[in-house]
Amino acid sequence: MTTALVTGANKGIGLEIVKQLIAKGMTVYLAARDPEKGEKAAADVGARFVRLDVTDAESVRQAAETVGSLDVLVNNAGITGGRANAPGEADVDAIRNVFETNVFGVVTVTEAFLPLLRRSARPRVVNMSSMVGSLANMLAGDTPNSLAYVPSKTALNAVTVSYARAEPSMRINAACPGYCATDLNGHRGHRTAAQGATAAVTLATLDDDGPTGGFYDEDGPIAW
Ligand code: NAP
């Protein structure tokens, strides 16, 4: 039996990833920071709930202890930080807050679950990034010019490559869901959360000869 854990999974794209991994026959831990929301969402879809706030190292440690063994980790939890944080108007505390969740949170969770993943026969890690974090897209002027969310996803891409280099027997990749209608963007996205989940699910179920250290949406590789 393959066991997966998805962070920030009580709603949005994370919840859809949980549903799609369950449909593939996996045992899935739906991780959420709010027990009430998490327990309800897990009961609704047939997942196991585990409390995990990616910015709270003790909750991450306890979640790893509860889960015990793991094959698939999806680092999905993420925040935008709200305001734009354009260069020249930067709010450094707000930027730091976004990095705490989107970058340092992913490192905290990955470090805690690496010992479990190393014991798996087919370990997979998926980091939910965004095409806005692509430096190529930034240079082309295709992304909002923000110092918080955008560079946090660029840093997350680098973190992804770093873990992939360190753990060559694992498949560790970054996924872009596309622009999906969720609470993150006031439901302005033109794709559904279920459509957004598919790239992550593909990377979570890669064969042993699948890629590692890459950045993908559902159509294939994205420029860094
Ligand atoms: P969402 O609906 O706002 O869901 C975000 C989830 O992250 C929620 O469950 C939230 O929990 C959780 N979360 C936030 N901070 C957390 C923390 N400290 N610890 C644990 N969980 C935390 O957003 P979404 O659109 O599904 O986004 C999911 C991922 O996809 C994010 O990484 C996002 O950056 C990425 N993404 C989304 C889009 C898009 O168009 N929607 C595009 C590109 C990338 P609460 O309910 O407790 O707040």
Residue bearing the CA closest to ligand 1, atom 30: 128
Tell how far the Cα of 13 is from the centroid of ligand 1, in angstroms: 7
Confidence of residue 201 (pLDDT cuts 50, 70, 90): very high
What integer pLDDT is reported at residue 143 of this predicted model?
Answer: 84
Residue bearing the CA closest to ligand 1, atom 3: 184
Ligand 1: residues with CB < 6 A are: 7-8, 10-14, 32-34, 37, 53-55, 76-79, 101, 105, 128, 130, 176-177, 179-180, 182-185, 189, 193
Tell how far the Cα of 180 is from the centroid of ligand 1, in angstroms: 11
Residue bearing the CA closest to ligand 1, atom 2: 12
Ligand 1 pocket mutation, candidates 184, 195, 217, criterion most atoms within 8 A of CB = 184
What integer pLDDT is reported at residue 79 of this predicted model?
Answer: 98
Residue bearing the CA closest to ligand 1, atom 16: 77
Nearest CA to 179 among 147, 140, 132? 132
Give mean pLDDT, residues 141-165.
95
Lookup: tokens for 22: 């369950």
Q: How do residues 63-111 score in pLDDT, each as one tens digit?
A: 999 999 999 999 999 999 987 789 999 999 999 999 999 999 999 999 9
Lookup: tokens for 201: 């699910």
Tell how far the Cα of 215 is from the centroid of ligand 1, in angstroms: 18
Residues 6 or more apart in contact with residue 31 via CB below 8 angstroms:
5, 6, 7, 8, 9, 38, 49, 50, 51, 52, 63, 77
What integer pLDDT is reported at residue 37 of this predicted model?
Answer: 98
Active-site annotation holds for 149: yes
Confidence of residue 211 (pLDDT cuts 50, 70, 90): very high
What integer pLDDT is reported at residue 215 of this predicted model?
Answer: 98
Tell how far the Cα of 57 is from the centroid of ligand 1, in angstroms: 18
What integer pLDDT is reported at residue 142 of this predicted model?
Answer: 83
Q: How do residues 102-152 score in pLDDT, each as one tens digit?
A: 999 999 999 999 999 999 999 999 999 999 999 999 999 988 899 999 999
Active-site choice (29, 149, 163, 216): 149
CA 158, CA 23: separation in Å to the nearest integer?
Answer: 31
Domain boundaries, the chain: 3-221
Q: How do residues 21-80 score in pLDDT, each as one tens digit?
A: 999 999 999 999 999 999 999 999 999 999 999 999 999 999 999 999 999 999 999 999
Residue bearing the CA closest to ligand 1, atom 41: 180
What integer pLDDT is reported at residue 83 of this predicted model?
Answer: 76
What's domain 3-221's superfamily in CATH? NAD(P)-binding Rossmann-like Domain (3.40.50.720)
Q: How do residues 180-200 score in pLDDT, each as one tens digit?
A: 999 999 999 999 999 999 999
